[in-house]
Amino acid sequence: MADEATRAHVGRIVFLPGRWLVQSLDSHARNVALLARAWRADLAFSGPTPNLALTSGRLVEAARIHDMGKPAHFRLAYDDGVQPPRWEYSFAGHRFDAAHPDAYVQALAEMHHEFSVDGVARAVARLRLAEVTRPVADHFPLDLYALEMCDQIEATVARAALGSSQPEERVFMDFQFRVRSPAEYEVDPFVFAETPMCLAVEYAELSPPRDAIQPVERGSGDSRRRALGELEQWLAKQLQEAPWKRKEVRLWPWML
């Protein structure tokens, strides 16, 4: 059994007929950190901006730890209220489990799914109250935008790389995405220092047994919840034993 330092966790799942492609959480976090490190604020933002180089290291660190709460919040779900029924998963509440000794880094991680003006304004106000973060409090909205964009771009690219027919299904940021070739994608805005941006999606290919799937698909209420819990345990165990595959992808600027 892997210890917690080396234990594999779910980053995302693409549900395909008869098999689940599971990106590791480490793979997702590494890719988001790579995008954050390559983020060019001068291309992303027009007009006068603060010197974001002062917080660029904190942005990368926030990208590295932003999803650390996901393992404790992972849940499988099955929605038979739509046609056709579909498998789903959730990490609801995970962002609030982010922890870091740097208050600015922790605030970025905790807020990486926050989009309300009031929520961001309250975070900036809290940062202004602390002497150590006051000088960079005004950087926060721009760094938060950068983190959210890197997170969403990575998620969309990974879903496409793993064969999702709807890679933009979970989009919550405004950008353009299209497939150039099976392992090459275009995005707009493209605001990264490297062209192309090279990422690696590490994943396991699992085939859940029918005797674990059927109690979920046919059950309801408590019986379905128990079956989902058993399937979550099966998935956690399989991730420690399955061989990991690697798919390298390249990200390009949008071509007109």
pLDDT in tens, 244-254: 999 999 999 99
pLDDT at 1 (0 to 100): 43
H or E element that contains 57:
helix 56-65
* Residue ranges of E strands in 18-110: 19-24, 75-79, 86-90
pTM comes to: 0.94
pLDDT tens by residue, 23-40: 999 999 999 999 999 999
Euclidean distance between CA atoms 184 and 78, whole angstroms: 31
Mean pLDDT, the chain, whole residue set: 94
Residue 7's pLDDT band (boundaries 50, 70, 90)?
Answer: confident
Longest dimension (CA), the chain: 60
Residue 200 has pLDDT above 90, yes or no: yes
Q: What percent of the chain has pLDDT over 70?
A: 96
Helical H runs in 176-248?
Answer: 210-218, 221-241
pLDDT at 120 (0 to 100): 94
